[in-house]
Structure 1
Amino acid sequence: MHRLTRDEARRIAVRAQLLDADRPGDIVEVAEQLGAIKIDPTATIAPAEQTIPWSRIGWAYEPGQLTKAVETDRLLFEHQGQFRPTSLLPMMAARMRGRTLPAATREYLDANAPFRRDVLRRLREEGPLLASDIPDTSIVQGKREGGWYGANEVPRMLELLEATGEVAIVGREGRMRRWDVTERAWPTGMPVHDYDEAERMLEMRRLQALGIARRKTSWSGVGDAGEPAEVEGSEWKWRVDPEALAALDDDPGGRVAILNPYDRMLFDRPRLIELFEFEFVLEQFKPKAQRRFGYFAHPILIGDRFVGQLDAELDKKKENLVVTAVHETLPLEPEEREMVDGEIRDLAEWLGVPVVFGAGGR
């Protein structure tokens, strides 16, 4: 049983997420360590798939690197709303093909068996294709909680076939996905794993991405990977990555990081509170009158402390980054505030626009 202070646990978590002073070199390195980069169209500043790598790499990152890594080099792939490293594909493929589908999904696929065959045939013969290139020959429509999935069943069928490992996303035209069959989209000669073996391997990769996580929780999915640990002042059962633990003494120090609200570092809200004493609530879906920090506020990390949230928006018409407020959740020393302002200016320069600080931004 490893016994850690809260400072040590936080440093492990920060370093595992590549948010310390030792910046990674490229987008592939980021994806390999994080395991997944969220795709989301909300772009008050920039989309999640762009700001997540920028917050790690900094100036050396250019948005075109992501497209090249996915569509040309095939070192990353898109799956269910995230970009992932291709090194994970053998394990994920085993789980896709071995998963048990819910009864309603099986009924939908059985009822639409001719439609399923039509989609696969067209992709094999004509792919890669956009969903709009494929006719809807569905027999029955599927339902989702809260209403109909949509008038066109092709996107639904493609997403189900993606979940079972029959089709894959191979690129995009704007926000539209291009699809192909996996026998052509996936690399040949991939290692073959059984379902349970693949899950154990994925649990270890998840723990490596987090550094330290609670055991047996849906927030992290690390299971029994790594080694058991106790954290000072916490009654939770933790698992820690032994390599991250061994590197604790090799500490490069901290820095300022501005995180997209969909950043993996923020996903496990209970862990944020337990280790960092930071309660983060995404206010995107709250009525305006109930928002404290802003529609899409970006948390600010200094070293291993969350010190505030940035409420800012890219004004595309005026071509500047408007900082409405920097909400301090911990009091900042003058030099810390200067560091935060410097990171905001770097963000604006990366976007190619000047920064404009509003009355609450300073």
Structure 2
Amino acid sequence: MIQLTNRQARQFLLLKHGLLGEHQFTGKQGVLDFVRQVSCIQFDPIDVCGKNAELVLQSRIKPFSKDILDELLYKDRLLIDYPDKNLAIIPVEDWPYFERYRHAARQHAKHYPEMEALTEQVRVYMQKHGALSSNDLKLDGNFSWQSVIHWSSGNNVSRSVLEQMYSTGELIIHHKKGTRKYYDLAQKYIQPSLLNAPEPIEGELEHHKWRVLRRIGAVGLLWNRASDAWLNIWGLKSEQRNEVFRQLLQEARIIAVVVEQMKDILYCRAEDLTLIEAVLQNPTPKWRCELIAPLDNFIWDRKLINELFGFDYTWEIYTPAIKRKFGYYVLPILYGESLIGRAEIIAERKSGTLVVKNIWYENGIKPTKQLRAALKQCFQNFAVFNGCETISAESMS
């Protein structure tokens, strides 16, 4: 068991995420290294000032452009769109570990025999024409259908069939145009040794151990309690999670961490002990100012962030406007070792303007000359990331 001060726990988390001191990740290789380190980054199609996955990367990778992520996904095929923590992006080498979900989808499809004839039509069309979206394919059918993995589909038969074939692993997302997904046959893009590999882990308990360990690594520190960090791990209820933690501790694959004035014990992966040793040396890293994505791995567990950083964050995008405390799409602001406020930012791409609509500082935070200079540089970097040439930031004047 390791004991940390609150500051040391915060430093560890930030160092783990490449958010403390000098940038640890550079360019395309840096994107790949970071995604492999955290196992997955959450995807969300809403684009107010960058999509969530892009926002996660822009705060860590120097330099980063949206084209880099697109190339890794749709040209190099080293990353792939795949459900993990909800919709996500994962390293393609992790494909075999999710075979049990594809198997479940194939079993599920047997309840809809009318689907097979439509599926064959898609195969034939794709062999001839290549990648397509649901708008490119007009299938006739009349049946009620629910995907086993993630989506609920309505009466669009073409979309339903494509999503079912995606959930079984027969299709992958070939590319996206805006929010529209284009699919193609997985066998064209995933090497057979991965595509057809049997699941490496047998048994539900061992699979749960793999996924919990993966999520702890994705966040850095987690507790054994209900958390959004466990979303989309099938069958992981509190009883199963308790047994998983017991075994991972016994096998010395996770380490218990006690943080001052915190009731709950936290856990980190054993391989992250070197980072804990680094923060125990009381480093004084160079301060950075970064905008954090709403669904960033770093803040997956909002209650944990509140306890460690004293920062209460709710993504208010689905909150009725009249009930919002802040705004529609608001990003936390990291400055040094603290979350010092939040900003509502809109990229008006037609005019090439990044609009900083509002900034809300946390109680006790004074916008000093140094902080304003750091924020100005942060917004300048963010404007370049969004392809904007000018910045409108009345709230900073």
Deviation at 1:40, TM superposition (A): 2.5
The range that moved more, 311-320 or 249-258, is 249-258
Q: In the comparison of the two structures, how many residue pairs are matched?
A: 354
What's the CA shift for 1:162? Answer: 2.4
Fraction of identical pairs, as percent: 21
Tell me the SS of whatever aligns to 1:355: strand
Aligned to 2:289: 256
> What residue in structure 1 maps to residue 342 of structure 2?
309
Instruction: Please tell me the residue identity of whatever aligns with 1:352.
Output: C
Q: Using the TM superposition, give the Cα deviation of residue 86 of structure 1 relative to its aligned residue in structure 2, in angstroms.
A: 1.6
- Measured against aligned partners, the alpha-carbon deviations of 1:225-244 in whole angstroms (never above 9, x if no partner) come to 52233222222242212222
1:61: Cα distance to partner? 0.9
RMSD over aligned CA atoms reads 2.8
Aligned pair 1:56/2:60, yes or no? yes
The structural deviation recorded for 1:112 is 3.0
Give, in whole Å, the separation in 2 of the partners of 1:296 and 1:6: 29
CA displacement 1:110-130 (0-9 Å, x = unmatched) = 453433444345445654332
Evaluate the alpha carbon distance shift between residue 349 and residue 72 of structure 1 in structure 2; reply closer, same or farther with a 3 A threshold: closer
Map residues 33-182 of structure 1 onto 2, 5 A cutoff.
33-58=37-62, 60-80=63-83, 81-92=87-98, 94-99=99-104, 109-110=112-113, 112-123=115-126, 126-142=129-145, 149-182=153-186
Secondary structure of the structure 2 residue equivalent to 1:42? coil
Change (3 A) 1:6 1:245: farther
The 8 Å contact of residues 348 and 354 in structure 1, kept in 2 or not, is answered as yes
Instruction: Please give the alpha-carbon distance, in whole angstroms, between the structure 1 residues aligned to 2:125 and 2:208.
Output: 32
Query: Residue in 2 aligned with 1:32?
Result: 36
CA 1:125–1:149 in 2, change beyond 3 Å: closer, same or farther?
A: same
Structure 2: segments with no counterpart, 5+ residues: 231-240, 249-253
Q: Is the 8 A contact 1:91 1:199 kept in 2?
A: no
State the secondary structure of the residue aligned to 1:109: coil
Q: Is 2:340 the counterpart of 1:339? A: no
| 1:270 corresponds to | 303
- If the length of structure 2 is used for normalisation, what is the TM-score? 0.79
Between the aligned partners of 1:143 and 1:157, the Cα distance in structure 2 is 10
Q: TM-score, normalised by structure 1?
A: 0.86
Distance 1:101 1:167, change over 3 A: closer
What amino acid is the match of 1:140?
A: F
Match of 2:313 in 1: 280
Query: What is the rounded CA distance, in whole Å, between the counterparts of 1:129 and 1:288 in structure 2?
Result: 36
Report Cα offsets for 1:191-229 as digits up to 9, x if no partner.
541344554333323222211111254522385352233
Name the SS of the counterpart of 2:112 in structure 1. helix
CA 1:183/1:194 → structure 2, altered by over 3 Å: closer, same or farther?
A: farther
The answer as to whether partners of 1:39 and 1:82 remain within 8 angstroms in 2 is yes
Hey, what's the Cα distance between the residues in 1 that align with 2:271 and 2:375? 31
CA contact (8 A) 2:19 2:60 kept: yes
Corresponding residue for 1:228?
256
Maintained 8 Å contact 1:78/1:170:
no
Displacement of 1:278 in angstroms is 1.4
- Cα-to-partner distance string for 1:243-295 (whole Å, 9 max, x where unaligned): 22322243573522101212222222222222222111112223333322221
Contact persistence 2:333–2:340 (CA under 8 A)? yes
Which deviates further from its counterpart, 320-329 or 121-130? Answer: 121-130
Measured at CA, do residues 121 and 195 of structure 1 come closer, stay the same or move farther in structure 2, by a change above 3 Å?
Answer: farther
In 2, Cα distance between the equivalents of 1:218 and 1:290? 24
Residue 297 of structure 1: CA displacement? Answer: 0.9
Assess, with a 3 A threshold, how the Cα gap between structure 1 residues 276 and 157 changes in structure 2: closer, same or farther: farther
Whole-angstrom CA distance in 2 between matches of 1:124 and 1:232 = 60
Letter in 2 for 1:185: Y
What does residue 21 of structure 2 align with?
Answer: 21
Within the candidate set 220, 224, 227, 1:215 is matched to 224
Q: Counterpart in 2 of 1:357?
A: 393
Cα distance change of structure 1 residues 214 and 314 upon mapping to structure 2, 3 Å threshold: same
Kindly state the Cα deviation for residue 54 of structure 1 after the two structures are TM-superposed.
0.9
